[in-house]
């Protein structure tokens, strides 16, 4: 399988230490030796670096782990090809990227979805894969669902709308196999914890005040108190906090609930167009 990593932050932050800890899992102390990739969002665009080589041996990743790339949203992946016949190739290396509605959409997957590409119910429409993996096919399916009729909207979709559009596909795909994934448009970071995904919350003091940070990883990277996300759950993060989407109850337009510093649910404005 593969390993996932992501960060959501309230201010541009580097992930140097986390990447340095993830790097040896890619072929040195872990079996994920078939590629690595990391995406740093800069507004609506993602700066993506990836190679179909072991992360532990990559001079490029070693440089990135020491360079101060800062972002509010980061997605990273180290790959173990499964099945092996879909081996090392740039087109098979996560994270994958597509443009829709004037934004970069980035996706990384941990798991296996046997028979996905052979089932007519999962035929693709607008978005098509460049490589051979079921992961990229699943990404294209999710983006087809997000795009809907294909009509562009003026602003980024709200997290609620994105989740509502992808949830039926997520439920169908999860029946095929294992579907842990990270998806982002640079505003919302959406995580599906099908079987195994952990979260860590940090509060850091910086020159511009307090910075809230959420880290996600397949397996904890440090000895800090990481929390395993409930299997089968979808989580949304923005600005270093988790957005708690209402479960089947009406909300005022543009308002969602999120957990405040005390852990209680409070109202918060959500970016984007709710239509």
> Residue 53 is encoded by which pair of tokens?
């080589």
Mean pLDDT calculated for residue range 64-75: 94
Separation CA 157–CA 142 (nearest Å):
14
pLDDT digits (tens, 9 = 90+) for 15-53: 999 999 999 998 888 888 789 999 999 999 999 999 999
Count CB atoms within 10 A of the CB of residue 45: 15
The pLDDT value given to residue 187? 95
DSSP state of 172: H
Q: Taking a C-beta distance cutoff of 8 angstroms, is the pair 194, 174 a contact? A: yes
Confidence of residue 247 (pLDDT cuts 50, 70, 90): low
Contact assessment for residue 46 and residue 106, using Cβ atoms and an 8 Å cutoff: yes
pLDDT level of residue 74 (50, 70, 90 thresholds): very high
Q: Name the residue among 219, 144, 147 with its Cα closest to residue 180.
A: 219
| Contact status, residue 123 vs residue 138, Cβ threshold 8 Å | no
Average pLDDT over residues 225-247: 91
Asked if the model's pLDDT at residue 81 lies above 80, the reply is no
Question: Higher confidence at residue 150 or residue 72?
Answer: 72
Evaluate if residue 234 carries a pLDDT over 90.
yes
Q: Does residue 130 have a pLDDT over 70?
A: yes
Residue 214 has pLDDT above 50, yes or no: yes
Q: What is the pLDDT of residue 153?
A: 74
Q: Which pLDDT score, from 0 to 100, does residue 227 have?
A: 97
Q: Which domains does the chain have, with CATH numbers?
A: 3-243 (3.60.20.10)
pLDDT in the model for residue 34: 87
Supply the pLDDT for residue 85.
67
Mean predicted confidence (pLDDT) in 73-77: 98
| The pLDDT of residue 206 | 65
**71: preceding bond cis by omega (within 30 degrees):** no
> 2, 60, 140, 208: which one is catalytic?
2
Is 235 or 80 the better-scoring residue by pLDDT? 235
The answer to which of 46-50, 176-180, 268-272 has the lowest mean pLDDT is 268-272
Q: Is the pLDDT of residue 213 over 80?
A: yes
- Token pair in block for residue 118: 């052979």
Predicted confidence at residue 208, as pLDDT, reads 67
CA distance 174 to 165: 15
- Is 60 a known active-site residue? no
- 10 or 210: which leads in pLDDT: 10
Compare 206 and 36 and report the one with higher pLDDT.
36
């Amino acid at each position: 399988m593969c390993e996932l990593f992501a960060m959501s932050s309230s201010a541009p932050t580097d992930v140097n230490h986390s990447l340095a800890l993830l790097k040896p899992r890619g072929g040195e102390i872990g079996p994920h030796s078939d590629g690595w990739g990391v995406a740093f969002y800069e507004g609506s665009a993602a700066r993506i670096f990836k190679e179909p080589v072991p992360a532990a041996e990559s001079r490029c990743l070693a440089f990135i782990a020491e360079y101060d790339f800062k972002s509010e949203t980061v997605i990273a992946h180290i790959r173990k090809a499964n099945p092996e016949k879909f081996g090392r190739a740039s087109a098979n290396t996560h994270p994958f990227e597509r443009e829709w509605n004037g934004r970069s959409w980035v996706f990384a997957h941990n798991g296996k979805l046997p028979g996905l590409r052979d089932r007519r119910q999962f035929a693709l429409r607008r978005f098509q894969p460049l490589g051979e993996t079921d992961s990229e096919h699943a990404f294209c399916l999710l983006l087809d669902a997000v795009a809907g009729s294909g009509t562009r909207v003026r602003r980024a979709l709200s997290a609620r709308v994105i989740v509502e559009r992808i949830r039926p596909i997520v439920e169908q795909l999860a029946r095929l196999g294992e579907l842990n994934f990270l998806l982002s448009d640079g505003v919302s970071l959406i995580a599906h914890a099908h079987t195994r995904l952990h979260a860590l919350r940090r509060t850091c003091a910086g020159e511009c005040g307090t910075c809230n940070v959420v880290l996600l990883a397949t397996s904890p990277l440090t000895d800090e108190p990481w929390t395993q996300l409930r299997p089968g759950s979808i989580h949304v993060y923005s600005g270093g906090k988790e957005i708690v989407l209402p479960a089947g109850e009406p909300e005022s337009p543009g308002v969602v609930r999120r957990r405040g510093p005390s852990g209680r649910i409070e109202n918060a404005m959500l970016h984007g167009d709710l239509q």
